[in-house]
Amino acid sequence: MTSLYLIAAILFALIVYMLVTVLRTRGAVSTLTQEEFIAGYRKAQLIDVREPKDFDAGHILGARNIPLTQFRQRSKEIRPDKPVYLYDQNGSRSGRAALFLKKHGCTELYMLKGGFRQWTGKVKSK
pLDDT along the chain (126 residues), means of 10: 83 78 68 94 95 96 95 93 95 88 93 93 86
Return the pLDDT at 24: 62
What are the residues facing 109 on neighbouring strands? Answer: 84
Taken in order of first residue, the domains within the chain and their CATH numbers are 2-120 (3.40.250.10)
With a threshold of 0.75, does the pTM exceed it? yes
Phi, psi of 8, deg, nearest 5: -65, -40
- pLDDT, one tens digit per residue, over 70-105 is 999 998 999 999 999 999 998 789 988 998 999 999
Number of helices (H), then strands (E), in the chain = 5, 7
Mean of per-residue pLDDT scores for the chain:
89
